[in-house]
């Protein structure tokens, strides 16, 4: 709770005037993130080439972490989901919606022959999200990992794994 209050620049008392429980606070934060991410997905035009889709998704997602202290909060929310069934359900809904959106983008790319037709879009979407989600928290405790710089490497590796063209002018190199 201390980290949530610090991130929101509120005292616990002020925060509990708006929410009746820790679960309600965390669920509202998850919902706010889902709303932000859905706006990102909606902002990408249907005909955007897949390498640019991946690059835009990574860039816009990283912009949501205005400072690295939010990574600690991200870690704590996910850890809470491992032990709290209410938070676990909120996270399942959140990740389910995000996976659905990413799966659709991959299917569109397959229709345009930008992604290998043998790739299973749902599995690829889950893999992409889980890999990215693993990189961000690791950087919260390992200062040698510069996750914003590694975003280019991540993009290049994902594109290569999906049989897509590299991102022009960037090549997925840090």
Least Cα distance to 47 among 117, 122, 108 occurs for 108
Mean pLDDT of the chain: 84
Confidence of residue 172 (pLDDT cuts 50, 70, 90): very low
* Residue 174: predicted pLDDT: 41
Enter the pTM of the model.
0.82
Q: Which CATH number fits domain 28-161: 1.10.357.10, 1.10.1740.10, 3.40.50.1370, 2.40.50.140?
A: 1.10.357.10
Residue 171 has pLDDT above 50, yes or no: no
Rounded average pLDDT over 40-69 = 83
User: What are the extents of the domains in the chain?
Assistant: 28-161
Residue 1 per-residue DSSP state: -
- Choose the weakest-confidence range: 5-14, 31-40, 90-99, 136-145: 5-14
Q: How far is CA 128 from the centre of its chain?
A: 9
């Amino acid at each position: 709770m201390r980290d949530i209050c610090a991130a929101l620049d509120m005292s616990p008392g002020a925060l509990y005037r708006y929410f009746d429980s820790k679960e309600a606070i965390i669920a509202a934060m998850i919902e706010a993130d889902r709303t932000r991410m859905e706006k990102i997905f909606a902002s990408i035009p249907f005909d955007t080439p897949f390498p640019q889709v991946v690059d835009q998704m990574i860039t816009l997602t990283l912009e949501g972490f205005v400072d690295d202290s939010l990574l600690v909060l991200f870690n704590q929310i996910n850890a809470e989901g491992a032990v709290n069934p209410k938070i676990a359900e909120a996270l399942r809904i959140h990740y389910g919606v995000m996976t659905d959106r990413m799966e659709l983008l991959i299917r569109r790319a397959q229709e345009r022959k930008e992604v290998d037709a043998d790739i299973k879009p749902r599995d690829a979407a889950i893999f992409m999200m889980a890999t990215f989600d693993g990189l961000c928290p690791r950087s919260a405790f390992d200062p040698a990992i510069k996750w914003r710089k590694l975003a280019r490497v991540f993009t290049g590796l994902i594109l290569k794994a999906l049989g897509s063209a590299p991102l022009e002018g960037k090549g997925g190199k840090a």
